[in-house]
Amino acid sequence: MTIGYTVGQLRAAVADAVRAPSLHNTQPWRFRLRDGGIEIAVDPLRGLPATDPTGWGARIACGAALYNLRLALAVAGTPATVRLRPYPADPDVVARLVPDVPRRPTPIEQGLYGAIAHRFSNRAPFWPDPVPAEARWRLGEAARAEQCWLELVIGASAVNALAEVARSAHRVLERDPAYVAERVEWIRSEPAPDGVPAAAGGPHSEPQDLLPQRGFGGRNRAPGRDFEPEPLVAVLGTPGNTGTDQVVAGQALQRVLLTATDAGLGVSMLSQPIEVPGAREALRLSLGRFGTPQMVMRIGYGQPGRATPRRPVDEVLDLPVVPA
């Protein structure tokens, strides 16, 4: 068994980890090697005080990056044993990964790893084709395999009820000037290593839209190209809602997203109903679920798109300074 990971292994795995999604593409993570273990921590300098005052979104993003790290290490034949939030005195460190017994990657790990580079948030309207039962089942299994639940919201009245909660949360957030300023600050109309490219923002909202789109610049809608009238909406949730539960949710989110990508499905995320406490509670009650909703997703067959930029690996590594 390897005694510890090397800097080379850290770099290679981090290149995959940073492909994870994050609120406004802030990429709120740092990585380091400590006593042979790879550690991932929330980067407090890349927080969103108005949008994410509790740090929920940063922990979800770090959990998603952690899932990519796990896959990358497993596919390289050097799988990890993971300890979540290993230092009670430093809860920003979300996980520590140490080498486990080497083994060959499973076909599932290989398939999901292959999806990392192709995943992106698809905010455009989806085709009306329904998501087949087998793919729905795979998405649920992906969440369960990571100790979370995934509720598929079925039927027009249930989707309408969720949409109403989401729209009212969206209105609450848009009334807060600090929240709006943060959203606008992270829109990128020129090439940039972080933030949401305006071209990835999806079409401008229109009054007939069922689900609220966060405004990231967007483009005009092709005539007749409305959003799908009966979207497949899924809610990911956890039994509890501690910081550790949120890291667990981030891993499950990434597994669901990669499973969807692997199945040829597009996904966009809607977190307005998670960010407004009253809306989150209304969502929980409407699902009749024990536990806490952590993310809402719209899933379907979409047009091809492209991955959004990330900062270079060196910018997110904390390596010891070697004296000259």
Ligand X SMILES: Cc1cc2nc3c(=O)[nH]c(=O)nc-3n(C[C@H](O)[C@H](O)[C@H](O)COP(=O)(O)O)c2cc1C
Give the integer Cα–Cα distance in Å for 165 and 290.
18
Considering the complex, state which of residue 33 and residue 249 has its C-beta at the smaller distance from ligand X: 249
Interface stretch with ligand X, choices 32-40, 146-154, 235-243, 269-277 (CB under 6 A): 269-277
Considering the complex, state which of residue 5 and residue 216 has its C-beta at the smaller distance from ligand X: 216
| Of 5, 9, 18, 21, the one binding ligand X by CB under 6 A | 21
Considering the complex, state which of residue 124 and residue 269 has its C-beta at the smaller distance from ligand X: 269
Give the integer Cα–Cα distance in Å for 249 and 164.
24
Q: How far is CA 146 from CA 15, 27, 58, 91, 238, in A?
A: 22, 22, 18, 21, 10
| Of 22, 254, 261, 292, the one binding ligand X by CB under 6 A | 22
- Judged by CB under 6 A, does residue 46 bind ligand X? no
Specify the amino acid at residue 114.
G
Please give the span between the terminal C-alpha atoms of the chain, in angstroms, as a whole number. Answer: 33
With CB under 6 A, what is the number of residues at the site for ligand X? 20
| Residues written for the chain | 324
- Judged by CB under 6 A, does residue 23 bind ligand X? yes
Considering the complex, state which of residue 26 and residue 78 has its C-beta at the smaller distance from ligand X: 26
Nearest CA to 261 among 168, 139, 165? 139
Considering the complex, state which of residue 78 and residue 272 has its C-beta at the smaller distance from ligand X: 272
**Mapping DSSP to helix (H, G, I), strand (E, B) and coil, where does residue 194 land?**
coil
Specify the amino acid at residue 271.
S
Binding positions for ligand X, 209-268, rule CB under 6 A: 214, 268
- Tokens 């992906």 -> residue: 142
For 222-244, b where at least 16 C-beta lie within 10 A, e where not — what string? eeeeebbeebbbbbbbbeebebb
- Judged by CB under 6 A, does residue 57 bind ligand X? yes
Contact 160, 189 (CB under 8 A): no
- Judged by CB under 6 A, does residue 61 bind ligand X? yes
Specify the amino acid at residue 146.
E
Considering the complex, state which of residue 23 and residue 41 has its C-beta at the smaller distance from ligand X: 23
Minimal CB distance residue for ligand X: 21
Considering the complex, state which of residue 10 and residue 295 has its C-beta at the smaller distance from ligand X: 295
**Mapping DSSP to helix (H, G, I), strand (E, B) and coil, where does residue 248 land?**
helix
Binding positions for ligand X, 173-202, rule CB under 6 A: 196, 200
- Judged by CB under 6 A, does residue 292 bind ligand X? no
Helices (H), ranges, the chain: 7-17, 56-75, 107-115, 133-145, 156-174, 177-185, 243-262, 272-275, 277-287
What are the respective helix, strand and coil percentages of the chain, to the nearest 5? 40, 20, 40
Considering the complex, state which of residue 10 and residue 60 has its C-beta at the smaller distance from ligand X: 60
Interface stretch with ligand X, choices 42-50, 53-61, 94-102, 235-243 (CB under 6 A): 53-61
**Binding-residue pattern over the window 83 to 122 for ligand X, x denoting contact by CB under 6 A:** -------------------------------------xx-
Minimum CB separation from ligand X for residue 24, in Å?
A: 6
Which chain residues interact with ligand X by CB under 6 A?
Answer: 21-25, 57, 60-61, 120-121, 123, 196, 200, 214, 268-272, 308
